[in-house]
Each structure stands twice: as structure tokens, then as C-alpha cells.
């Protein structure tokens, strides 16, 4: 006998309407059927329900043509030359239909972003793989019979007035099966304008990037929504000149290198005062940094300088004399997953140059998976801190 754990109200919570549609009962029944076969253990009941609701919503999305899943895999393909992170795409993978790998990712995404304390979820976890297989068998059986939800077809191709547009954007930002996991912890504090500048979803996309994908480039009407397409901030000329001067001093003092690794505050102080020629006073020599063991400084001719601390032992850059593989094995993964620990420009430099080779999923010793998906892991984990300037 099928366990009834999920109700219409649970389903409507991840939909852009409040009144039950003709197809909703079917998908609620499907979610309950999935619940009865879910074998993932030691997770909160609320999270187990989300796994089943989101998987049912994925089928509805594919059947109905709302385009969320297609937008995600299209952007992932554009960024990383494969439709999904982590998983080997089989030859019979069908981009316009349902796939077991898709479900596996949805389960992982939901579990990794679940709002309870847990270690980083290994995407190769056997529980996820087994549950994805059983869920796929059910969805494959239902695929030809599942009813399309006409309300969702081409949902983002237009809108009826500003309020309708904002309603659709609110749903897209934080209430779909793909975007809700990433913002659920702080969605209650997000204002109407915040949602335009905070990235969401597995790829940390801004709302205008989602709309570009979902509207297939036909964004004329959406460009009328104030704030959706924010202007790129201009750097004042005075600051550009100051940053360029700093860049010149920095690279002259490092034989052309745009990055320097400094052990201890004494080296930092020397670099600031002798190389960058900053005044030797507390306002310029950062005395609050005295208790940190090492520092990284990077320079950009337009942006100026960034400073990171206590990371050198994780980084295998040939310019860095402090690299320690044992420390890196324990701590380097956190550079990709802990907000504010590693500035975005430094992270990009490390990922592009493969300078965190010992980063591994905690408790698994899995390094190769991290190396192949480091940029995605950072996007997925850090969101705003990855996309920030």
C-alpha cells in the first residue's frame, strides 16, 4: 500500500500558482510513490519529501516544456563541455527526455543544499545512485502517461504586466525544484531588488541569465523590468590610475608576477612598505593581520590588490614555497566550499592552473572528481561569493 506523505499543499509550494491544476493530483501521487521507494537514510523527513517532490517536478518540467532543466544542462554544457557535473554521460542520454543521471544529480543537489548540518555529500554516494535508479524506473514507466501542465509551457516567454513578471521572477529565483535548494536558508530575508543581484540555482546564475536561457534570447519584454539587467558598474578614472600605479609597483617588485606568497606578517609589512611604497603607519600596514601565518597578494591593473590569508599551505603554485601536501589534503577542499575563505579572482587562478591538486571530498579521498569539477563545486557551494567581484 502506498504511503501518503505528500499533499497538494506541498506540491503547490514549489509552483507559481496557488489553485490546484488538473495535472497536480497526478504528480502528487507520483511523489508519494517515489517516497515509498526512497532508501536514502539518516536524513530529515522534510528533506526526504523534497527529494520526491523535486523528482516529480523534474518529470513535469520535461513533459510540460517549462524549460528549467533544459536551461540548466544547456548552460552547464556551455561552461564545461558536458551536460552534467560528476557523472559520465551514457551514449543513450537524451537531452529532451528523462535520464537516470539527471535524477542522480537532482538528488545530490537537494541533499547537498539541505538546510541541516551535514558533511559535504559525495556525488558518488551509493545511496544516491540506488535511489536514482529506482526513481528512474518509476519515471520511465510513467513517462508516456504523465500529463503535461499547460500552465508551465513556455512560461517565461512573456508576461502580463509588471506584477506578473515579478511573480514569475520570484518563483524562478527561489521556489522551483532547481533553485529552491540554493536559497532556502535566506529566502525570507531577500527583498524584491535583492533577487536581481544574488545568483541562484546549481550554477549560481543571476535571474537575467536564467531568463536569457528560458526565453531563448527573446528577452525584449524582460529588459523592460527595472533592475533585472543591472548596469555594469564603472570604475572611476582616478581609481583606475591608482590601481594601475599599484600594479606597476607590484610587478616590478616580483619580476613580473601578479601573485606573491608571503610567510608571516613581517614579510607582508616589508612588501607593503618597500615594494608598494605604502606609508609605514597602522592605516596602511594592516597590523590587525599580525596573528596570521601567511598571506597571498594578487594584483590586477584595473581592480587593484586582493589579499588572502592562511591559505599558502594548500596551494601548489611553483611560486609558493610554503605548499604542504598533507595540509592541503585536509584543508584545500574548503577553498571551494567555505564562503569568504578564498577571494573569487584567486580561486579562478587556482582552478585554471590546477594549483589545488590535493583538494578532496572530505572522508572519501576522492581527488579526481574534484579536479574535474572544481569550478562547478565552487559555483554550487559559494553562489554570491563565487560570482562576487
Reading the chain (389 residues) residue by residue, the pLDDT tens digits are 567 899 999 999 999 998 999 999 999 999 999 999 999 989 999 999 999 999 999 999 999 999 999 999 999 999 999 999 999 998 889 989 999 999 999 999 999 999 999 999 999 999 999 999 999 999 999 999 999 999 999 999 999 999 999 999 999 999 999 999 999 999 989 988 899 999 999 999 999 999 999 999 899 999 999 999 988 888 898 999 999 999 999 999 999 999 999 999 999 999 999 999 999 999 999 999 999 999 999 999 999 999 999 999 999 999 999 999 999 999 999 999 999 999 999 999 999 999 999 999 998 889 999 999 999 999 999 999 999 76
Q: Rounded to two decimals, what is the model's pTM?
A: 0.95
Angstrom distances, CA of residue 208 to CA of 58, 218, 229 = 22, 12, 6
Whether 248 and 304 have beta carbons less than 8 Å apart is answered as no
- The pLDDT of residue 389: 62
Q: How many helices (H) and strands (E) does the chain have?
A: 17, 3
- Across-strand partners of 294? 263
How far apart are alpha carbons 78 and 256 in whole angstroms? 33
Q: Report which DSSP code applies to 189.
A: G
- The pLDDT of residue 350: 98
DSSP-assigned letters across all residues of 108-136? HHHHHT-SS--PPPPTT-HHHHHHHHHHH
Quote the Cα angle for 360-329-120, to 5°.
40
- The pLDDT of residue 365: 87
Angstrom distances, CA of residue 203 to CA of 30, 215, 314, 354, 384 = 28, 18, 25, 20, 11
Angstrom distances, CA of residue 187 to CA of 190, 191, 285, 298, 316 = 5, 9, 39, 34, 38
- Across-strand partners of 361? 366
How far apart are alpha carbons 90 and 367 in whole angstroms? 22
- The pLDDT of residue 2: 64
Q: Report which DSSP code applies to 178.
A: T
- Hey, how many other C-beta atoms are within 10 angstroms of the C-beta on 111? 21
How far apart are alpha carbons 216 and 374 in whole angstroms? 28
Going by C-alpha positions, the residue among 383, 374, 362 that lies closest to residue 190 is: 383
281 phi, psi to nearest 5 deg: -140, 160
Q: Count Cα neighbours of 328 within 13 Å in the Cβ-side half-sphere.
A: 16
* Grid cell locating 207: 535571474
Going by C-alpha positions, the residue among 64, 211, 233 that lies closest to residue 149 is: 64
Whether 169 and 225 have beta carbons less than 8 Å apart is answered as yes
- The pLDDT of residue 13: 95
Amino acid at each position: 500500500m502506498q504511503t501518503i506523505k505528500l499533499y497538494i499543499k506541498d506540491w503547490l509550494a514549489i509552483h507559481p500558482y496557488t489553485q490546484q491544476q488538473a495535472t497536480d493530483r497526478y504528480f502528487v501521487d507520483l511523489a508519494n510513490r517515489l517516497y515509498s521507494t526512497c532508501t536514502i537514510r539518516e536524513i530529515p523527513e522534510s528533506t526526504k519529501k523534497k527529494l520526491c517532490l523535486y523528482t516529480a517536478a523534474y518529470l513535469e518540467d520535461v513533459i510540460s516544456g517549462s524549460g528549467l532543466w533544459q536551461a540548466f544542462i544547456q548552460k552547464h554544457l556551455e561552461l564545461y563541455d558536458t551536460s552534467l557535473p560528476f557523472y559520465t554521460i551514457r551514449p543513450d542520454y537524451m537531452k529532451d527526455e528523462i535520464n537516470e543521471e539527471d535524477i542522480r544529480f537532482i538528488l545530490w543537489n537537494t541533499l547537498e543544499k539541505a538546510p541541516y548540518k551535514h558533511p559535504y555529500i559525495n556525488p558518488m554516494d551509493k545511496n544516491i545512485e540506488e535511489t536514482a535508479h529506482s526513481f528512474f524506473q518509476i519515471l520511465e514507466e510513467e513517462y508516456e502517461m504523465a500529463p503535461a501542465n499547460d500552465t508551465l509551457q513556455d512560461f517565461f516567454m512573456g508576461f502580463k504586466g509588471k506584477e506578473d513578471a515579478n511573480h514569475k521572477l520570484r518563483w524562478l529565483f527561489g521556489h522551483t525544484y532547481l533553485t529552491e535548494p540554493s536559497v532556502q536558508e535566506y529566502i525570507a530575508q531577500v527583498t524584491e531588488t535583492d533577487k536581481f543581484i544574488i545568483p541562484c540555482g546549481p550554477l549560481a546564475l543571476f535571474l537575467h541569465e536564467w531568463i536569457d536561457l528560458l526565453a531563448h534570447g527573446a528577452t525584449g519584454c524582460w529588459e523592460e523590468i527595472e533592475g533585472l539587467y543591472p548596469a555594469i558598474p564603472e570604475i572611476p578614472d582616478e581609481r583606475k590610475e591608482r590601481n594601475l600605479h599599484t600594479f606597476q609597483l607590484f610587478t616590478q617588485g616580483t619580476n613580473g608576477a601578479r601573485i606573491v606568497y608571503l610567510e608571516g606578517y613581517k614579510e607582508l609589512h616589508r612588501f607593503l612598505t618597500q615594494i608598494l611604497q605604502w606609508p609605514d603607519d597602522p592605516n596602511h600596514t594592516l597590523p590587525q593581520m599580525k596573528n596570521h601565518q601567511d598571506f597571498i597578494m594578487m594584483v590586477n591593473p584595473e581592480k587593484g590588490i586582493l589579499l588572502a590569508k592562511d591559505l599558502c599551505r594548500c596551494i601548489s603554485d611553483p611560486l609558493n614555497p610554503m605548499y604542504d601536501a598533507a595540509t592541503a589534503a585536509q584543508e584545500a577542499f574548503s577553498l571551494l566550499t567555505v564562503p569568504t575563505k578564498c577571494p573569487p579572482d584567486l580561486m579562478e587562478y587556482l582552478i585554471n592552473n590546477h594549483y589545488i591538486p590535493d583538494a578532496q571530498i572530505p572522508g572519501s579521498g576522492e581527488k579526481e572528481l574534484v579536479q574535474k569539477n572544481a569550478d562547478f563545486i565552487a559555483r554550487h557551494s559559494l553562489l554570491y561569493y563565487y560570482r562576487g567581484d
